[in-house]
Amino acid sequence: MSTSISRSQQFCLLGTGWITGFCMCFLYIRHTTKDCPPQIVHPCSVPAKPLSVSNDTLPDKPIMLVWVWPETDDYKFDPVKCKERYNIDGCHLTDNRDLYSQADAVLFYHKGIKKDLSNLPQTPRPPFQKWIWFNLESPTNTRPKSGLENLFNLTLTYRRDSDISVRYYLNVSKIPKEFEIPEKDKLVCWFVSNTNPGTGTGTRMKFYEELRTYVNVNVFGKMAGKRLTDEEYYPTMASCKFYLSFENSIHRDYMTEKFNGPLSIGTVPIVLGPPRDNYEQFAPHNSFIHVADFPSASALAQHLLVLDKDDAAYRRYFEWRKYVTATPHYAVWNEEFILPICRACDYVSRHNEYKETHDLFKWYSS
């Protein structure tokens, strides 16, 4: 074993003998990762294209092609942002469809796929290529499209059991930190634009309507005719003791930036979404209030009014911050897809496993 490893390593280092070296080089890399120079990973997994070192025509990283961008062109971004923001640099991220036949992975945004699938690639899929199903909407707001059920290799969604899961994870640190609660001049706030009951918002509207009869809720956003600019998002949220993190629809793992925003900025989220134990898989039990912790909206309101007067009790909602850190997400309206796409790029650069995804919508609605 050791002799074959050193021989394949030699091939890697010399960058020659691709045809004969391919098999062993490939095996070697799959089992170690760090020891070979990174530029050989790509040619090793795609033996048909021998690579001469630093040839611009073929990037030395896996290619991830964005075939269908999310929403409109306003959401396109410069791939260099993956490096700048998340230190992700492992793939060649492109939307140049000429690279289709060479692409290691192709990303499709679910909403952008036409119902008759006519905007999918019409040429055969290369055998090494993985198709990624990208969707950030909840199942309530995902229209199944016939023909996609068994077409993809990887899923990119908020779900934890996706191949690539897009979440805002909290980080644990060994060194205790003091957290300073921001200045507050409001009790309860809510930023809300989507009030379309067709998207599942009925539950949260009903709860809000009841809650507001017991406690004043400062509403911002389209619903209140008080839209916040991107710059006002965090300062306004920070000025509220509590924030209504009400998801538009209720599904396992579906906790969005509405939850991460207040957690990261020093405001206590009041969550309406999946059950408490699901939230506690991602955030400390004493970092948020769940609407189901109380028998009624009135009881919740009473609790909030008590906390408003009891500083020590309010501060206890921040004790977790000593050892856990929440990272603010970018609150710019057209930047919500940058992190997921960068994460997909990172995944593609680290994973070579064969994978098929079946019964896509059955899984997603489960």
Ligand X SMILES: *[C@@H]1O[C@H](CO)[C@@H](O)[C@H](O)[C@H]1NC(C)=O
Distance CA 157, CA 167 (A): 9
Query: Cβ closer to ligand X: 88 or 297?
Result: 88
Query: Cβ closer to ligand X: 127 or 225?
Result: 127
- Estimate the crossing angle of helix 297-309 against helix 202-211, to 10 degrees: 50
Distance CA 70, CA 226 (A): 27
In angstroms, what is the minimal distance from the CB of 348 to ligand X?
Answer: 11
Q: Which of 337, 330, 326, 323 is nearest to 288 (CA)?
A: 326
* Residue given tokens 């599942």 in the structure block: 200
Query: Cβ closer to ligand X: 52 or 229?
Result: 52
In angstroms, what is the minimal distance from the CB of 166 to ligand X?
Answer: 13
In angstroms, what is the minimal distance from the CB of 128 to ligand X?
Answer: 6
Cβ(228)–Cβ(220) below 8 Å: yes
Query: Cβ closer to ligand X: 24 or 170?
Result: 170
Q: Which of 227, 291, 228 is nearest to 259 (CA)?
A: 291
CA distances from 7 to 4, 10, 33, 48, 220 (A): 5, 5, 16, 21, 65
The answer to whether residue 137 is catalytic is yes
Residues near ligand X, by CB under 6 A: 52, 55, 57, 128, 130, 150-151, 153, 171, 325, 327, 354-356
- Check 71, 84, 137, 178 and give the catalytic one: 137
The SS3 assignment for 169 reads coil
Active site amino acids: 137
